[in-house]
Amino acid sequence: MNGTVSSSRRPTANSPVRKARRVPMPRVWPVRAGDIYAILGGNALLILGMWIRHGNMHELATPAGVFTAVGEISALYGTYLVLIQLILMSRNPWLDQVFGQDRITAAHRWVGFSAIWLLVTHAVFTTVGYSMTVSSSPVGELLTLLTSYPYVLWSGVSLVLFVAVAVSSVRAARRRVSYETWYAIHLYTYVAIALGFLHQLFVGIDFTTDVVARVYWIGLYAVAIGVLVYFRFGQPISISLRHRMRVANVVTEAPGVVSIYLAGQELDELPVRAGQWFRLRFMTRDGWYKAHPFSISAAPNGRYLRFTVKGLGDYTSKLQRVAVGTSVFVEGPYGAFTGAARTKARILLVAGGIGITPLRALLEELPASKGNITLIYRASRPEEVVFRDEIEQLAALRGAAVHFLVGKRGSADMPSDPLDPRALRRLVPDVAERDIYVCGPAGMLERTLRGLRWLRIPDAQIHYERFAF
Ligand SMILES: Cc1cc2nc3c(=O)[nH]c(=O)nc-3n(C[C@H](O)[C@H](O)[C@H](O)COP(=O)(O)OP(=O)(O)OC[C@H]3O[C@@H](n4cnc5c(N)ncnc54)[C@H](O)[C@@H]3O)c2cc1C
């Protein structure tokens, strides 16, 4: 099927509030958190077993040996964490499904810093251990290691790159650099991994003499790199080639906010759900090398995907003027902020500003019966409310209740926070009996989540999407 969208200012024949055609649901992966922890724990034990099997326990008999042993173990586990990090960076849908983006981001941070601390420990303890064994100075030993052991100089450069990536990710530094700079520095992680690999095989005590250990170690690298390449490159290339998406229409929704309609081939066979998001790469001369995440703002309908973008920075401001016909390379869909996360029949959707996009799509797709859906839409100013007509039409069609809470917090009209937990309970008395989906600016999101926890709503009922990593 060749999807097309009317070129009128607002598509009418394809109006987003018309009944959506069903598209395939994203695959549900038969993976549970316990399986993943068992695989990770099993490999961690295998690594320790490998180190013991190589007779390294005897090193613990002398102080120099203890340093060397700590150096070896920290190298093994530091590298293991780096490989786990590759899988966390792979944007694969089963991790998304099991843990959700927020926990993956938190794990990415924790695993990354731990890996680098372990690799620094490896360098320091190995150097000191060797220097104690041959009674030389640590600095002299370091020079010997760097200049006369195979590929150790490469691994030294690798460690410097890893540390640079870690420094750029420390919160204080992260706040000072742009997303693009931070991301570019992160790409050095791949160079660091490549540079560090060979010295493990040629110098690592566990691999120089044991073919089985070598094969196992190379196998771990192959799995991690395979998962990364498949999900980061293989799948997006295959989806983009198959669906050949292009901009079919650009519609102004509010000042500084446009909806971009993407049409393409066989969109009725693209598995995606309301609440999910894609990374979009607009193939223009100055845009093809940047990919930014955007949620679909209408339920998938097999004819087009709609994204609604607020111009907040350089990229999103330029997108306001994207030309119809521009080809778009898509990665995704990603995210577990969907109807699949529901645990209750009744639902509360809480949107702030442009955070309405995934909730607008959910309002259209979630099963509606007997007024089970309530939407609260918070904005500081009336012109920040997008989709007001569409939302009212959808709410009427689906029997949903909608509350637009518009006004500046602390102003005469809105002296207190309308999303404060008591106010929320007054507005939606059965809030504790609902699944709650929240998306909005960071401050509003955090306050709302705190409020929901104050109301003792179980975590399983609270679902949220952050618009920043
Ligand atoms: C899952 C998700 C869904 C989103 N959905 C929407 C949506 O439906 N509508 C909408 O208007 N906005 C959405 N956003 C936000 C949107 O992606 C950012 O506003 C946009 O990338 C900012 O780019 P900029 O260059 O215009 O602004 P900048 O001022 O350069 O960036 C502002 C902030 O956006 C984030 N950011 C910037 N570039 C990227 C990037 N390449 N990848 C990831 N984050 C980046 C960073 O946190 C940065 O600090 C979403 C974000 C996420 C994470």
The per-residue pLDDT for range 274-308, each reduced to its tens digit, is 999 999 999 999 889 899 999 999 999 999 999 99
CATH of the domain at 256: 2.40.30.10
Q: Same domain for 122 and 185? A: yes
Distance CA 397, CA 395 (A): 5
Q: What percent of the chain has pLDDT over 70?
A: 95
Choice from 297, 467, 469 to test ligand 1 binding pocket (greatest atom count within 8 A of CB): 467
Residues 347 and 373: beta-carbon distance below 8 Å: yes
The pLDDT assigned to 4 comes to: 39
| Residue with the two structure tokens 């660091």 | 192
| Residue 468 Cβ < 6 Å to ligand 1 | yes
Q: What is the pLDDT of residue 100?
A: 84
- Answer whether residue 46 is part of any domain: yes
Cα distances (angstroms) measured from residue 372 to each of 11, 158, 389: 29, 55, 20
Does this model's pTM top 0.85? My answer is: yes
Which residue matches tokens 């586990």? Answer: 77
pLDDT at 14: 45
CA atoms of 398 and 41, how far apart (whole Å): 47
Sheet containing 327-334, strands listed edge to edge, beginning at the edge strand earlier in sequence: 292-295, 277-282, 327-334, 245-254, 257-263, 305-310
Among 315, 320, 329, which is best to mutate for testing ligand 1, by the most ligand atoms less than 8 A from CB? 315
With respect to residue 229, please indicate whether it lies within any of the assigned structural domains. yes
Residue 314 lies in a domain: yes
Q: Is 403 in the pocket of ligand 1 (CB under 6 A)?
A: no
Cα of 294 vs centre of ligand 1, distance in Å, is 7
Of the candidates 299, 334, 369, which is a domain's last residue? 334
Are β-strands 277-282 and 257-263 bridged in parallel, bridged antiparallel, or unpaired? Answer: unpaired
Domain membership of residue 88 as a residue range: 33-236
Q: Give the CATH number of the domain where residue 397 resides.
A: 3.40.50.80
Q: What is the band of 15 on the pLDDT scale with cuts at 50, 70, 90? A: low
Q: Which residues pair with 343 in a beta bridge?
A: none
Q: Whose CA is nearest to atom 1 of ligand 1?
A: 467
Q: Which residues pair with 352 in a beta bridge?
A: 378
Tokens of 55: 């007779």
Residue 453 has pLDDT above 90, yes or no: yes
Same domain, 41 and 150: yes
List the single range of 114-118, 203-207, 448-452 with lowest mean pLDDT: 203-207
Q: Does the residue 19 lie in any domain?
A: no
Between 179 and 137, name the one with better pLDDT.
137
Does residue 1 lie within any of the structural domains? no
Instruction: Indicate if 56 and 125 belong to the same structural domain.
Output: yes
**Å from CA of 21 to ligand 1 middle:** 29
pLDDT, tens digit (0-9, with 9 covering 90-100), for 366-425: 998 888 999 999 999 999 999 999 999 999 999 999 999 999 988 888 888 889 999 999
Can you name the residues that pair with 405 across neighbouring β-strands?
378
| One domain for residues 266 and 405 | no
One domain, residues 400 and 460: yes
| pLDDT band at 18; cut points 50, 70, 90 | low
* Single-letter amino acid code for the residue at 65: G
Task: For residues 96-124, give the mean pLDDT.
Answer: 93
Domain count, the chain: 3
Is residue 26 in a domain? no
Q: For residues 324 and 181, state if they share a domain.
A: no
Least confident residue range of 144-148, 156-160, 285-289, 308-312 = 285-289
Does any domain span residue 98? yes
